[in-house]
Amino acid sequence: MNNSVKPLNLLLIEDNENDIALVQRLLQTSKLEIKMDSCTKLKDGITQILSTPYDLLLLDLSLPDGHGLDGLVQLKSRGVHIPIVILTSTNDRVVASIAIRQGAQDYIVKENITAASLLRSIHYAIERKAVENALETERSNFHSIVEMVNEGIIIVNLEGQVKFMNRAAEQFLKTDRNQLVDRIFPFILEKNIDSEIPIRRMDGDSGKGLCHTLYTDWQGKDAKLVMIHDITDERAAEQMKDTFLQNVSHELRTPLTAIKESIAQVIEGLHGKINIRQIQTLSLCLKNVDYLKRTVDNLLDISKLESGRIDLKKAPFDFAELLGSVVQSLKNTADSKNIKLDVSLPPTPFIITADRDKITHVLMNLIGNALKFTHEGSVHIRVVKNDADLEFCISDTGIGISKQELPKIFEKFVQFGKLASVHEKGTGLGLSITKALIELHGGKIWAESIIERGSQFFFTLPLSE
């Protein structure tokens, strides 16, 4: 016998001497070292269990002081947590099922008992209890973590009733969980749609919370997982940023306009004749003033877009006419670089309902970028009219965008490619603003590109009904 194997200590609570002898005899056939104590009353058994470290309890359901499943109830109430195997002469599957739900690990009918079935049941019960204990430890650890996090976590069933909430959620919603559990959640929940709700912060002050909802499973049923994040400080920071940008823009726009006008007057000779070299120098200054003005305008636009303060002034208009005017305004730029700029339109007229100024901004940015990053070849603009939307594609034969840069091109302050001149530099906000404007109109935007062969930018806009 391997002395390193720990012997099993069992307790049998059974009032029938013949059954005690039977179990003892069956256990003796095992190759393992098994020690079994026995008693005939439930109360005596509980006393022994609480004073002796048993590995398993064999329990009869027909005891003088614990008949039927009452014995399990008494054991549980006294804090008995060792594995339990039920021994009974009642071949009742319902009783077995109830016994398992009330804490037993297995169930054996005495009339069918064998050494093999008894030993198998003992080992199974011990292993099952070990798994249950491990799961309970994990649940306890998870519950502790959920209670410690500063995010509000709430489980709401599909009927809208709160089934669970953590400490942070209690604080945010200014309520005791016992008052809200099993009651209707007080806010409307929509999957993957964030909403702001009033909260009470951890310091007791009022604030704003971002409520996000996902679908999950709770106790075997579909439910909603609600997460509440305190965004009070974030909103305050955004407000400070917006205020700063607005103040800076107002402070810069007036002098920039004056500087631009003054430089233009000097270039035009209104303050006296100047030579070619002076004109070139002043023209460079004028370009940098324009760049600085675009930077200020872009910073203001991205701030407004992020804070949801841009209102679309939608109205129906002829998209082909708008595109024609944008292309005409950029024709001199294309001609100066000897780039062919052409347009393909659907054969029939089409009307869209959108903010004309914002769509003009989108077209100027996308076509302007194509011309900026194309040094020879062509820029082709194609418009396709689908059943429900308008698909726009601008393709060029420019420098292209690498696979590494392509996924990032719509992020803020991202610039790509090598520019021919420092005067072609941008703010890195154009495509981010363009994407936001397209999505505000209910459209989509994406890009494809091959380095040194050119790029294609696509976007869609819903057609007017």
Query: Are residues 126 and 85 in contact, defined by beta-carbon separation less than 8 angstroms?
Result: no
Rounded to 5°, the CA angle 231-235-239 comes to 170
To which H or E segment does residue 384 belong? strand 378-385
With beta carbons less than 8 A apart as the criterion, state whether 165 and 155 touch: yes
Contact (Cβ atoms closer than 8 angstroms) between residue 405 and residue 390 = no
pLDDT of residue 4: 55
pLDDT value for 92: 61
Contacts of 273 (CB under 8 A, 6+ apart): none
User: Per residue of the chain (465 residues), what is the pLDDT tens digit?
Assistant: 445 567 889 999 999 999 999 999 999 888 888 999 999 999 999 999 999 999 999 998 888 887 778 888 888 888 888 999 988 776 666 777 788 888 888 888 888 889 998 999 999 888 888 888 888 888 788 788 888 888 999 999 999 899 999 999 999 998 888 888 889 888 877 766 788 889 999 888 999 999 988 888 888 889 999 999 999 998 888 778 777 877 777 788 788 888 989 998 999 888 888 999 999 999 889 888 887 887 777 777 777 777 677 778 899 998 889 999 999 999 999 999 999 999 999 888 778 899 999 999 999 999 999 999 999 999 999 999 888 888 999 999 999 998 888 988 988 777 765 443 444 556 678 898 899 999 999 999 999 999 989 999 999 998 865
φ and ψ at residue 243, rounded to 5 degrees: -65, -40
List residues bridging with 198 in a β-sheet. 208
How many angstroms separate the CA atoms of 182 and 170, rounded? 14
Which pair of tokens denotes residue 111?
């009339």
* pTM of the complete model beyond 0.75: no
Report the chain's terminal Cα–Cα distance, integer Å.
87
State the pLDDT at residue 91: 61
Residue pair 304/437 in contact by the 8 Å Cβ criterion: no
Q: At 282, give phi and psi (nearest 5°).
A: -70, -35
**Quick count: other Cβ atoms within 10 Å of Cβ 385?**
16
Other Cβ atoms closer than 10 A to 450: 13
Residues 162 and 156 sit within 8 Å (Cβ to Cβ): yes
| DSSP structural state of residue 444 | -
- Name beta bridge partners: 395: 380, 456
Q: What's the longest Cα–Cα distance across the chain?
A: 127
pLDDT score, position 1: 43
What per-residue confidence (pLDDT) applies to 421?
43
Alpha-carbon torsion 328, 332, 333, 339, what sign? positive
Concatenating the DSSP letter of every residue in 232-268 gives HHHHHHHHHHHHHHHHHHHHHHHHHHHHHHHHHHHHT
- CA–CA separation, 325 and 317 (whole Å): 13
Three-class secondary structure of residue 338 per DSSP: coil
DSSP letter for 12, please.
E
* Residue partners of 358: CB distance under 8 A and separation at least 6: 312, 437, 440, 441
Taking CA 296 as the corner, what is the angle to CA 292 and CA 298, rounded to the nearest 5 degrees?
A: 115
The rounded distance, in Å, linking the Cα atoms of 122 and 113 is: 12
Distance (Å, whole) CA 424 – CA 60: 89
DSSP code string of 154-202: EEEETTSBEEEE-HHHHHHHTS-HHHHBTSB-SS---TT--EEEEEE-T
Secondary structure of 44-100 in HEC code, one letter for each residue: HHHHHHHHCCCCEEEEECEECCEECCHHHHHHHHCCCCCCEEEEECCCCHHHHHHHH
Quote the pLDDT of residue 251: 80
What's the DSSP call for residue 312?
Answer: P
Residue tagged 């953590």 (tokens): 166
Separation of CA 80 from chain center? 43
CA distances (Å), origin 152, targets 166, 401, 463: 6, 42, 42
